[in-house]
Amino acid sequence: MRKLATLICLILIATSCSNDSDSEEVSALKEKVSILEKKLDNTVNESKYDSVWNSDYQETWMEVCETILEYEEENNPKVSASKVCRCSLDGLMSAFTLKEYESWPQNVKDGAAAPYVHRCWPT
Protein backbone atom coordinates (compact mmCIF):
# COMPACT_ATOMS: atom_id res chain seq x y z
CA MET A 1 0.00 0.00 0.00
CA ARG A 2 3.06 2.24 0.10
CA LYS A 3 2.56 2.60 -3.66
CA LEU A 4 -1.03 3.61 -3.01
CA ALA A 5 0.10 6.17 -0.46
CA THR A 6 2.69 7.42 -2.94
CA LEU A 7 -0.05 7.76 -5.54
CA ILE A 8 -2.14 9.81 -3.15
CA CYS A 9 0.86 12.05 -2.48
CA LEU A 10 1.46 12.43 -6.21
CA ILE A 11 -2.17 13.34 -6.72
CA LEU A 12 -1.95 15.92 -3.96
CA ILE A 13 1.26 17.38 -5.42
CA ALA A 14 -0.26 17.49 -8.89
CA THR A 15 -3.32 19.27 -7.59
CA SER A 16 -1.26 21.86 -5.77
CA CYS A 17 0.12 22.80 -9.19
CA SER A 18 -3.31 22.68 -10.88
CA ASN A 19 -6.36 24.87 -10.96
CA ASP A 20 -9.09 24.98 -8.32
CA SER A 21 -11.36 22.48 -10.10
CA ASP A 22 -8.65 19.81 -9.78
CA SER A 23 -8.34 20.61 -6.07
CA GLU A 24 -12.06 20.11 -5.65
CA GLU A 25 -11.82 16.79 -7.48
CA VAL A 26 -9.01 15.59 -5.23
CA SER A 27 -10.89 16.75 -2.13
CA ALA A 28 -13.91 14.77 -3.28
CA LEU A 29 -11.73 11.70 -3.87
CA LYS A 30 -10.11 12.07 -0.45
CA GLU A 31 -13.54 12.29 1.18
CA LYS A 32 -14.71 9.19 -0.71
CA VAL A 33 -11.58 7.27 0.36
CA SER A 34 -12.14 8.31 3.97
CA ILE A 35 -15.73 7.08 3.87
CA LEU A 36 -14.69 3.80 2.26
CA GLU A 37 -11.89 3.27 4.79
CA LYS A 38 -14.42 3.66 7.60
CA LYS A 39 -16.66 1.17 5.83
CA LEU A 40 -13.67 -1.16 5.51
CA ASP A 41 -13.04 -0.97 9.25
CA ASN A 42 -16.69 -1.81 9.90
CA THR A 43 -16.77 -4.84 7.61
CA VAL A 44 -14.33 -6.91 9.62
CA ASN A 45 -16.43 -9.69 11.11
CA GLU A 46 -14.88 -11.03 14.33
CA SER A 47 -16.07 -14.56 13.65
CA LYS A 48 -14.18 -14.57 10.35
CA TYR A 49 -11.23 -12.65 11.69
CA ASP A 50 -8.68 -15.33 10.93
CA SER A 51 -7.01 -16.41 7.71
CA VAL A 52 -10.03 -15.83 5.46
CA TRP A 53 -10.55 -12.38 3.99
CA ASN A 54 -14.34 -12.18 3.89
CA SER A 55 -16.06 -10.98 0.72
CA ASP A 56 -17.44 -7.79 2.28
CA TYR A 57 -13.95 -6.79 3.38
CA GLN A 58 -12.52 -7.60 -0.05
CA GLU A 59 -15.22 -5.57 -1.83
CA THR A 60 -14.61 -2.55 0.37
CA TRP A 61 -10.82 -2.87 0.00
CA MET A 62 -11.31 -2.89 -3.78
CA GLU A 63 -13.52 0.21 -3.60
CA VAL A 64 -10.88 2.09 -1.61
CA CYS A 65 -8.09 0.99 -3.93
CA GLU A 66 -10.04 1.79 -7.10
CA THR A 67 -10.97 5.20 -5.75
CA ILE A 68 -7.31 5.95 -5.08
CA LEU A 69 -6.26 4.74 -8.55
CA GLU A 70 -9.17 6.41 -10.34
CA TYR A 71 -7.08 9.50 -11.08
CA GLU A 72 -4.25 7.40 -12.54
CA GLU A 73 -6.69 5.43 -14.67
CA GLU A 74 -8.13 8.64 -16.13
CA ASN A 75 -4.68 9.97 -17.02
CA ASN A 76 -2.92 6.77 -18.12
CA PRO A 77 -4.65 4.46 -20.61
CA LYS A 78 -2.46 1.51 -19.55
CA VAL A 79 -3.77 1.59 -15.98
CA SER A 80 -6.86 -0.40 -15.08
CA ALA A 81 -7.64 0.40 -11.46
CA SER A 82 -9.72 -2.74 -11.02
CA LYS A 83 -7.00 -5.02 -12.45
CA VAL A 84 -4.20 -3.45 -10.39
CA CYS A 85 -6.31 -3.52 -7.23
CA ARG A 86 -7.51 -7.11 -7.70
CA CYS A 87 -3.99 -8.33 -8.40
CA SER A 88 -2.65 -6.43 -5.37
CA LEU A 89 -5.39 -7.74 -3.08
CA ASP A 90 -4.78 -11.30 -4.28
CA GLY A 91 -1.10 -10.88 -3.40
CA LEU A 92 -1.91 -9.53 0.05
CA MET A 93 -4.38 -12.32 0.75
CA SER A 94 -1.84 -14.95 -0.24
CA ALA A 95 0.83 -13.46 2.04
CA PHE A 96 -1.08 -12.31 5.13
CA THR A 97 -4.11 -13.29 7.14
CA LEU A 98 -6.82 -10.72 7.61
CA LYS A 99 -6.09 -10.74 11.32
CA GLU A 100 -2.43 -9.88 10.69
CA TYR A 101 -3.22 -7.22 8.10
CA GLU A 102 -5.91 -5.51 10.17
CA SER A 103 -3.69 -5.39 13.26
CA TRP A 104 -1.21 -3.04 11.57
CA PRO A 105 -1.30 0.75 11.39
CA GLN A 106 -2.11 2.20 7.96
CA ASN A 107 1.51 2.96 7.05
CA VAL A 108 2.46 -0.70 7.58
CA LYS A 109 -0.56 -1.83 5.52
CA ASP A 110 0.58 0.53 2.75
CA GLY A 111 4.09 -0.89 2.95
CA ALA A 112 2.78 -4.45 2.78
CA ALA A 113 0.74 -3.69 -0.35
CA ALA A 114 3.47 -1.73 -2.16
CA PRO A 115 5.30 -4.74 -3.65
CA TYR A 116 2.04 -6.15 -4.98
CA VAL A 117 0.95 -2.83 -6.48
CA HIS A 118 4.38 -2.52 -8.08
CA ARG A 119 4.19 -6.09 -9.43
CA CYS A 120 0.67 -5.54 -10.76
CA TRP A 121 1.31 -2.10 -12.29
CA PRO A 122 1.24 -2.18 -16.12
CA THR A 123 4.55 -1.58 -17.89
Residues 6+ positions from 118 with CB-CB distance below 8 Å: 3
Determine the Cα–Cα distance for residues 89 and 7; give it in Å rounded to an integer.
Answer: 17
The angle subtended at Cα 52 by Cα 46 and Cα 54, nearest 5°, is 70
pTM of full prediction above 0.75: no
Q: How many CB atoms lie within 10 A of CB 103?
A: 12
What is the average pLDDT value for the chain, to the nearest integer? 80
Mind listing the pLDDT tens digit for each residue in 50-103? 568 999 999 999 999 999 998 888 888 888 999 999 999 999 999 999 999 999
